[in-house]
Amino acid sequence: MHLTTNLWLLSLMLISPLSGATPSTQPIHKASQVYDTTDQLPLPNKGNIAVHDPNILLWENYYYLFKGGFHIPIFRTQNLTGPWEQVGTVLSQDSIIDMKNRSRPWAPTTIQQNGTFYCYYSVSQSGSQDSAIGVATSTSLDSNGGKWTDHGAVIRTGKGTDSHIWPYNITNAIDPSFITDNETGASYLNFGSFWHDIWQVPLSENLLSVQDSDAPDAKQLTFIPEQKQKPEEGSWMSFREGYYYAWFSHGQCCQFRGGFPARGHEYDIRVGRSESVRGPFLDRHGDKLLDGGGTIVYASNHGEVYAPGGLGVLAGNDSVPDILYYHYLNTTVGFRNGEAHLGWNYLRYDDGWPVVLDGIDISSSAGSILPVPRWLALTISM
């Protein structure tokens, strides 16, 4: 650990806003606060690519990574540790959503349904509620990233069409994620950040618009009642053995120009679960996410990993465990927004609650994950 070097890096930092979240109002602390972190959590497997709010899709023996940036860059690899090759972009030009920053959407989420790929993306001005979630589609992913069609905004907040409709008039349309109800087949869009936290709305059958757009059947997923600003964003939803898991990032993600937040107020990864895709979601202690609950799954650790978040979960199967992936700041590298890197870990479940495993990499060079060896299977089942 080179504290002197890192302090020197910090003195040179010029942090530019990255996300639509409002900067934290928590007290700021010296850089040494960064290193006072738990050693109880494991280090990550390194993804070896700079990324903020990563999204990964496994398709035909390749991992495809979508990230915020000019026209939404697409990378692919045959191993989560890389190397990653850029193969194209989702958008061939600026988003057709007429608002600021439409050349550089962020926090994309790409899914595949019935032979079509849907990429939901955020367009926003940092620190503003003037935001939109757009969607683009493609019928293929290939060595060129596919050929995409931009369909424009699904929802808008702050300004624009339907932004006056509840709950868009009190929320922030960034950080989209997607989930399908296993029983009904209905699909939902999760979104939100800081302005009344995270929400969910049902999508129409074509997945390009919200069902009943004039009066959406919206559900709030998370909330912190006692705080004016709600530091929860970057939602994700996964399903396993009868439970829907609502994942989210909590705390200050970035913009550390003035100093660091108090320990525990930087980004970390939290979760709650429910037997219904619509909630309510409870944490491991039985506290509702709507009452400020949330079980911490991954956080700053070993004085090396700082402010992990912007997560996703790759679903496993009978022979492969679920994989939690995220971005994090490596304190031996620096704290600029552009220095966030991909990290990932296997998950095991303790009484149905996800627990991050030590940095175990059993990826095959062929792109799929090798069957779990017996020793690891025993570890996961413990």
Q: Are 71 and 103 in contact (CB under 8 A)?
A: yes
For 166, counting Cβ atoms within 10 Å of its Cβ (0-12 exposed, 13-18 middle, 19+ buried), the class is exposed
* DSSP SS3 for 381: helix
Instruction: Please identify which of the residues 197, 233, 266, 304 carries the catalytic annotation.
Output: 233
The backbone torsions φ and ψ at residue 338, rounded to the nearest 5 degrees and listed phi first, read -75, -5
Q: Which two tokens stand for residue 193?
A: 């950040």
Q: Which of 202, 251, 242 is nearest to 222 (CA)?
A: 251
Q: Token pair for residue 286?
A: 């039985």
CA–centroid distance for 220 within its chain = 18
Three-state SS for 21-84 is CCCCCCCEECHHHHHCCECCCCCCEEEEEECCCCEEEEECCEEEEECCCCCCEEEEECCCCCCC
Give me the catalytic one of 53, 232, 266, 304. 53
Instruction: Tell me if residue 233 is catalytic.
Output: yes
| Nearest of 242, 334, 343, 338 to residue 297 by alpha carbon | 343
Active site residue 53: yes
Give residue 224's Cα distance to chain centre. 19
Rounded-to-integer distance, Cα 34 and Cα 37, Å: 7
φ, ψ for residue 190, nearest 5 deg: -100, 145
Which of 208, 299, 192 minimizes the C-alpha distance to 246? 192
Q: How many CB atoms lie within 10 A of CB 242?
A: 9
CA distance 324 to 311: 7
Residues in the chain: 382
Catalytic residues: 53, 233
